[in-house]
Structure formats: C-alpha cells, structure tokens
Amino acid sequence: MIQLDEQQAAARTWFESLRDRICAAFEAIEAEAGSAARFTYTPWDRTDPDGAPGGGGVRGVMKGRVFEKVGVNVSTVGGRFEGDFARSIHGAGEDPRFFATGISLVAHMANPHVPAVHMNTRFLCTTRRWFGGGADLNPPLPVAEDTTAFHDRLRAACDAHDPAYYPRFKAWADDYFYIPHRQVHRGVGGIFYDHLEGDFDADFAFTRDVGLAFLDIFPAIVRRRMDEPFTSEDVAAMQVWRGRYAEFNLVYDRGTLFGLKTGGNIDAILMSLPPVATWA
C-alpha cells in the first residue's frame, strides 16, 4: 500500500464515490431498457520498477443493450517515473517521484444515435500538485440539440467557478481532441484542462463539479436517443467513426501514454477502444 496524505486521500475518495454514482446511473438505464447488464469489477495492483508496491485500481466494465461497452476505471498509483519520461511531466524533471489518482470513463453505445462519451478527472502530485481532466462528446451521427445541451451544462459548471474557464477549456479540448493525420476532430468537443494548481480547495471543488455535470447531462442525452430507430447504414457509419476514435487514443492520447509508461493495467488502459470498428 502507498501512503496517502490528506489531500490525496480526499481526491481518491471522491473519484471512487463518483465511479459508484455513475455506474449506478448507467445500470439504471440498462434496467429501463429491459436489460440485466451490470458492471463487472476487476481489481489490479501495480509494482514500481524498483519492486516496491505502487498502488493499483479497479477496472469496471459493462456490456449491455444500451451501452455496447462502457468502462469506468479508478486508479491510485505512486512511485517513480522512469528515464526521460519524467521530464515530460509537470514538476517531475528534477525529482521523478509521483502520485496520481483519478477516474477515467469511456462509453461506446449500441445505438448510433446515442453519442459515445469520454470523461476523465485526476489529481497528480510531483514537486507540484494539480488537477486535470474534462469531458467530451463523441457522436457518430451528431445532433445539434445534444451538442448544445452537453456544452451548456459544462459551461454552467465552469461559470460557477470562473467565467474564463469555459472558453479557455473548450478551446483546449478543441485543440487536443484533434486527429492531425485525418485533419478532423474526434468529436464535438467539451472541455479539457490540466495543471490547475495553486488553491487545492477551489480546484478540487471545480473538479468535483465537472464530474457532477457529466453525471447530470450524459444520462439525459442517452435516455433521449436510446430508443430511436437506426439502419445498417447508421451502424456502418458508426463503425468507421470508431476507427477514428481508436486512432486518436492509440496515437495521440496522453492518458494512454501515461498509463503505459507508469506500468498501469493494460486492460484498464485500453478499455477506451471500441468493441467493433472498421477502416475503409
């Protein structure tokens, strides 16, 4: 077991409680659709390169009638970054010791009219301490009403803390969730932030509100679309779009790289990949 200080323990407890609330909400949607699907939880442990205990996490996965594949992971890890990777991490260039705790969620939906979604929030400690994360909507077949509702809810969460947050973090998401070799965005955006530091209580409160905003808006969008009829052409379009999603996560996603470079659980790291995808 790695030892946690008061801030680290508070962040871990929040991410685990948010996981429980999100999973319960998603299981309720499956029940409404007449499905008995439930999350299966798999714990995993991490060993630091020097052989010391390095924390671990729990991978939660559900495959149902509405959620074709959804993963909700929580992890709390610590130790030392290896080699040159330390210099790429905020505050770790001179001291490679680190701590990280967070929640990561990706949902791929059975109905092409229901948008896929990603949400991740985290707390990291090196020689600096900061929060990061965000949420972004990834519809294979975009609907303006859903995009507007998603952004409006995130804007409200941001505006409650700082009116400058939403335009800044929306632009950051637009820049980050972009596939250069395709010259397309991965989805219709959301917010993305990192290195939010200086006032632990304020930054933690904002991070909690991002999680609560996601919990409020995404199930509402799912319920709005999950019973819409769809065609085989819609499914084919979704599977091509999923190929783009997989390309981004394998080539550009910083969270994937962080997990691989720090000895995380491979299945948990790659749970973001869609169950079925196609390439032309």
Active-site residues, by number, are 118
Tokens of 161: 């803390």
Contacts of 183 by beta carbon, 8 Å cutoff, 6+ apart: none
The 3-class SS string of 29-63 reads: HHHHCCCCCCCEEEEEEEECCCCCEEEEEEEEEEC
DSSP string, 111-150: STTSPEEEEEEEEEESSSEEEEEEEEEE-SS--HHHHHHH
List, in sequence order, the alpha helices (H) in the chain. 6-32, 144-159, 165-176, 200-225, 232-251, 254-261, 266-269
Beta carbons of 147 and 196 less than 8 angstroms apart: no
For 254, half-sphere exposure in the C-beta direction (CA atoms, 13 angstrom radius) is 15
Residue among 103, 245, 265, 104 nearest 187 (CA): 245
